């Protein structure tokens, strides 16, 4: 009986599966918002985003996020939990994009994305882009971003499950004594 309770407590204490979130900017309204939340991801800009640069029949074929030249842009989880940046579709013009990720452990990871063919291309981030609290990105001209793919573990569920596993282990120990 104790081994069964221990196994159940251990199973409940394992972290929750990560949620894969793809933000495709379909729900944005035209304009230049300086911040917005889409699918739990918070986007901010010190100048503003060109929302819905694309659209049905445009060169991109769907709505995309326009990045204004020389603006400091960032993304983070609205809930404040850490996340992994997996990929995004990007069109870079003449000037490269600088991307910096701020790690939960206090360090940073950085990359430069060079100009692309003029079409949206998928840029895949390496495994170093895990455990991020936020990501900042700056472009030198008007570029386009779409299909931002991140992975985030819902912290409240993981904490609740871990806490219940600890309580179960404490109960087993008390029962044995």
Looking up residue 114, the CATH number of its domain turns out to be 2.60.120.1350
Same domain? For 62 and 35 the reply is: yes
Q: Check whether residue 159 and residue 87 sit in a common domain.
A: no
Comparing 16 with 152, the larger pLDDT belongs to 152
b/e 145-167 (16+ beta carbons within 10 angstroms → b): bbbbbbebebeeebeebeeebee
- Tell me the mean pLDDT in the region 123-134: 95
Residue 18 has pLDDT above 60, yes or no: yes
Together in a domain, 33 and 110 = yes
pLDDT, position 99: 95
Same structural domain for residues 143 and 163?
no
Clarify whether residues 101 and 52 are in a common domain: yes
Give the confidence band of 42 by pLDDT, cuts at 50, 70, 90.
Answer: very high
Task: Report the chain's mean pLDDT, rounded to a whole number.
Answer: 80
The most confident of the ranges 47-56, 64-73, 76-85 is 76-85
Q: Is pLDDT of 72 > 80?
A: yes
- Indicate the number of domains in the chain: 2
β-pairing, 72-77 with 41-45?
A: antiparallel
Using the predicted structure, report yes or no on whether residue 38 has a pLDDT greater than 80.
Answer: yes
Residues 124 and 158 in one domain: no
Statement to judge: residues 57 and 78 lie in one domain: yes
Q: Which domain holds residue 75?
A: 18-147
Per-residue pLDDT band for 89 (boundaries 50, 70, 90) equals very high
For residue 2, CA distances in Å to 9, 14, 164 come to 10, 19, 16
Residues 12 and 22 in one domain: no
Tokens of 167: 């309580």
pLDDT above 90 covers a percentage of the chain that reads 33
Banded model confidence at residue 27, pLDDT cuts 50, 70, 90: confident
The mean per-residue pLDDT over the stretch 137-142 comes to 82
Tell whether 98 and 170 lie within a shared domain. no
The region, left, alpha or beta by phi > 0 then psi within -120 to 50, assigned to residue 33 is: beta
Could you tell me the pLDDT band of residue 110, with boundaries at 50, 70 and 90? very high
- Do 97 and 32 fall into the same domain? yes
């Amino acid at each position: 009986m104790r081994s069964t309770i221990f196994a159940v407590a251990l199973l409940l204490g394992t972290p929750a599966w990560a949620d894969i979130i793809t933000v495709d900017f379909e729900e944005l309204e035209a304009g230049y918002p300086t911040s917005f939340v889409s699918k739990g991801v918070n986007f901010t800009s010190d100048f503003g985003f060109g929302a819905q640069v694309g659209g049905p029949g445009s060169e991109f074929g769907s709505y995309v996020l326009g990045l204004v030249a020389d603006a400091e842009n960032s993304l983070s989880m609205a809930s404040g939990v850490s996340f992994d940046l997996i990929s995004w579709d990007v069109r870079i013009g003449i000037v490269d994009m600088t991307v910096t990720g701020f790690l939960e452990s206090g360090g940073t990871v950085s990359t430069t994305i060079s100009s692309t063919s003029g079409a949206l291309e998928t840029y895949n981030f390496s495994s170093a882009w895990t455990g991020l609290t936020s990501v900042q990105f700056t472009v030198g001209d008007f570029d386009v971003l779409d299909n931002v793919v991140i992975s985030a573990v819902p912290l409240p569920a993981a904490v609740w499950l871990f806490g219940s596993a600890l309580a179960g282990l404490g109960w087993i120990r008390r029962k044995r004594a």
